[in-house]
Amino acid sequence: MRVSVVLCTHTMDRYDDCRVAAESVLSQTYEDVELVLVSDGSEAVAERFETDFGNRESVLVHCNDENVGLLESRNNGAELATGDVVAFLDDDAVAAEDWIEKLVDGYHRDGADGNALAVGGRMVPAWVAGKPAFLPDEFYWLVGVTHRGFGPDGDPEEAGEVRNTFGSNISFRRDVFLELGGFEDDIGGRKGEKNLQGGETELCARLQGQYGSGVYYVPDALVAHKVFDYRTDPGWLVDRAFWQGYSKRGMEVFVPESTGDESAFLGDLLFTFVPERLRDLVRSPSVAALSQLVFLFVLTGAVGTGYLYGAYVWG
């Protein structure tokens, strides 16, 4: 089974991190890996790709004619890929050396060619600026990291089918991905000052609707996501939480059945995680525990406000 990894970037400002991400793909323990590098409209990035990786076997370089955004860039990379499976990695992430091997194990778990149509793994944090003491792990998803409550039965350590994993650690059988039409580029990705999200969620909802199958989650398939300084700023996190709530409402409009996981998470948050945190705070008071509890409510409120704004905009 050949696996093509699509890696995109759009500016030289992110090139050094993208190069590290690319090297992590080329250093995999799994042998049959193809790397598809997509420059989103930047000739300078494309030239550096060619200089640094163009002479490597199983590396393809593509430059979009113009800046079209992450999701369309990923679709372009998937069309150029030659693998049986197409996987996606962000330009600020680093894959564990056995990442692809573990993803392939997910496809083969029921035999030589298992029945999984999509397989994803776990995102772990790489705290570039240090771990913020106030950020509760229930909201790690704001910084692209697998959070408390994710996974089958809410356990991020348990393998099994989920709706979707993060877009920086997800893969599809390429023929299925192309038949679905790839990512819907009007849904997710950063647009202006809006932290809009949801590309993988919408695609996986269509996967479920057309094939009756979700994403098989392999917690041992690890990708580290760099959490830069600005992503630990409270104001940035609140803003991101707001636009995540807005995106969730938009997702309900496009794919009404796509937000069941969020409803389940909210239930766990209010009726399990908050009571547990309150009990722990009473038993072992600390400034960090109190700040996390307070910020948990702040972020929940921001998501809710964004959702209500989305309801106003989307109807």
Q: Report how far residue 313's alpha carbon sits from residue 315's, in angstroms, rounded to the nearest whole number.
A: 6
Tell me the pLDDT tens digit for each residue of 139-160: 999 999 999 999 998 899 999 9
Residue 256: pLDDT band by 50, 70, 90 thresholds? Answer: low
Give bridge partners of residue 125 from the DSSP assignment.
225
> What's the length of the chain?
315
CA distances from 109 to 101, 177, 217 (A): 12, 20, 12
Domain assignment of residue 116, given as a range: 92-232
Give the count of domains, the chain.
1
pLDDT tens figures, 191-238 = 333 445 668 888 998 999 999 999 999 999 999 999 999 999 999 999
Residue 235's identity, in one-letter code, is G
pLDDT for residue 194: 43
Instruction: Provide the CATH number for the domain around residue 126.
Output: 3.90.550.10
- Say if 269 falls within a structural domain: no
| Structural domain contains residue 280 | no
* Between 32 and 267, the higher pLDDT residue: 32
Residues 218, 119 contacting (CB under 8 angstroms): yes
**pLDDT for position 197:** 60
Task: Collect all residues with Cβ–Cβ distance below 8 Å to 151 and sequence separation of at least 6.
Answer: 157, 158, 160, 162, 217, 219
Q: Please report, in angstroms and rounded to a whole number, the separation of the first and last CA atoms in the chain.
A: 45
What span, in angstroms and rounded, lies between the C-alpha atoms of 176 and 211? 9
196 inside domain: yes
pLDDT at 190: 43
In this predicted structure, the answer to whether residue 106 has a pLDDT above a threshold of 60 is yes
Q: Is residue 145 part of a domain?
A: yes
pLDDT tens across 52-67, in order?
Answer: 998 998 999 999 999 9
